[in-house]
Amino acid sequence: MKLLLSQSTGYPQDENLMELLFLISNLKDLGAKKVRVVVPYMGYARQEKRFHDGEAVSAKIVANLIQFAGADEFITFNIHEKCVLDFFDIPTTNISAMGAIAEYIDEKIDEKPLIVAPDKGAYPFAQEIAEILDCECTYLSKVRLGPDKVETRIVDVEGSSDETVNVDSVKGKKAFIIDDIIATGGTIVNAVKILKEYGAKSVDVCCVHPILVNGATMRIYAAGANSLISTNSLSADSSRVSLAKSIANVLRD
């Protein structure tokens, strides 16, 4: 029998990871021919390399464990670094949640929004949503000073090879910030503040994976966000965008 198993590995990540490994292994022991594993949020995926001497490459270890437990296929959403998928020797799929998020935004708006990436790394997400909604997008410039400290600047990206807006276009706009992960919220708090400072009419925040530690939700609202929504890759108050349809679409292939 071919089976599909879905389990996220957010907090408590070690417990959820062990549960996932036991489930995969047990299904195989009990005779499953093929186990397709959907891990909407893969814990430890942000440690795809040694950032400091002596650190473990945690993402690689987790990938090896999932495979060793007997997974035949690995499916996830907006993995932080695509190279993490190279740690697997089984087929992998990295689904984008941007379609589902765009659908949600589309239902909420009555005018064309401005989609904003809080840093250049998230710009492809903003572009994906902007293309679906046929609206403008831009990105902010972020410098990470420490694990929970970032500095953000608005940049005028006009004239670059990308089709983007300039700083003046923020004024009077309904801005939607999009990121893959919100952890401490430092990145988003800065982005909300700067967009408000530059005259955005409202600022809503969307992300795929709501890790939301250290009072992130409260700090994002305190910075002036109108709303904070995410997918249900992890369970949080913000998890209002279901990934079920996106998973079903991939499984149909």
Q: Which residues are catalytic?
A: 142
Q: Compute the distance between CA of residue 35 and CA of residue 235 in angstroms, rounded to an integer.
A: 24
At its nearest, how many Å lie between ligand R5P and the CB of residue 148? Answer: 6
Residue 186 interacts with ligand R5P (CB under 6 A): yes or no: yes
| Part of the chain binding ligand R5P (CB under 6 A), chosen from 18-26, 60-68, 183-191, 225-233 | 183-191
- The two structure tokens encoding residue 80: 């932080």
Q: In this complex, which beta carbon is closest to ligand R5P, that of residue 187 or of residue 238?
A: 187
Positions in 116-155 near ligand R5P (CB under 6 A): 118-119, 121-122, 150
DSSP 78: S
Q: Which residues fall within 8 angstroms of residue 170, CB to CB, at 6 or more apart?
A: 114, 116, 138, 154, 195, 198, 199, 200
In the set 184, 217, 238, 246, which binds ligand R5P (CB under 6 A)? 184
Positions in 207-246 near ligand R5P (CB under 6 A): none
Amino acid at 194: I
At its nearest, how many Å lie between ligand R5P and the CB of residue 66? Answer: 22
At its nearest, how many Å lie between ligand R5P and the CB of residue 160? Answer: 20
Q: In this complex, which beta carbon is closest to ligand R5P, that of residue 164 or of residue 187?
A: 187
In the set 180, 195, 228, 243, which binds ligand R5P (CB under 6 A)? 180
Q: Compute the distance between CA of residue 190 and CA of residue 142 in angstroms, rounded to an integer.
A: 9
At its nearest, how many Å lie between ligand R5P and the CB of residue 217? Answer: 11
Q: Compute the distance between CA of residue 107 and CA of residue 223 in angstroms, rounded to an integer.
A: 24
User: Is the Cβ–Cβ distance between 56 and 43 less than 8 Å?
Assistant: no
Q: Compute the distance between CA of residue 132 and CA of residue 151 in angstroms, rounded to an integer.
A: 30
Q: What is the phi/psi pair of residue 138, to 5°?
A: -155, 180
User: How large is the greatest C-alpha to C-alpha distance in the chain, in angstroms?
Assistant: 61
Q: Compute the distance between CA of residue 131 and CA of residue 137 in angstroms, rounded to an integer.
A: 9
At its nearest, how many Å lie between ligand R5P and the CB of residue 122? Answer: 5
Residue 157 interacts with ligand R5P (CB under 6 A): yes or no: no
Residue 185 interacts with ligand R5P (CB under 6 A): yes or no: yes
| Part of the chain binding ligand R5P (CB under 6 A), chosen from 66-74, 174-182, 221-229, 235-243 | 174-182
What is the Cα 213 distance to its own chain's centre?
15
Q: In this complex, which beta carbon is closest to ligand R5P, that of residue 49 or of residue 171?
A: 49
Q: In this complex, which beta carbon is closest to ligand R5P, that of residue 5 or of residue 221?
A: 221
Q: In this complex, which beta carbon is closest to ligand R5P, that of residue 38 or of residue 126?
A: 126
Q: Compute the distance between CA of residue 87 and CA of residue 234 in angstroms, rounded to an integer.
A: 23
Residues touching ligand R5P: how many (CB under 6 A)? 14
Q: Compute the distance between CA of residue 154 and CA of residue 161 in angstroms, rounded to an integer.
A: 18
Residues that bind ligand R5P (CB under 6 A): 118-119, 121-122, 150, 179-187
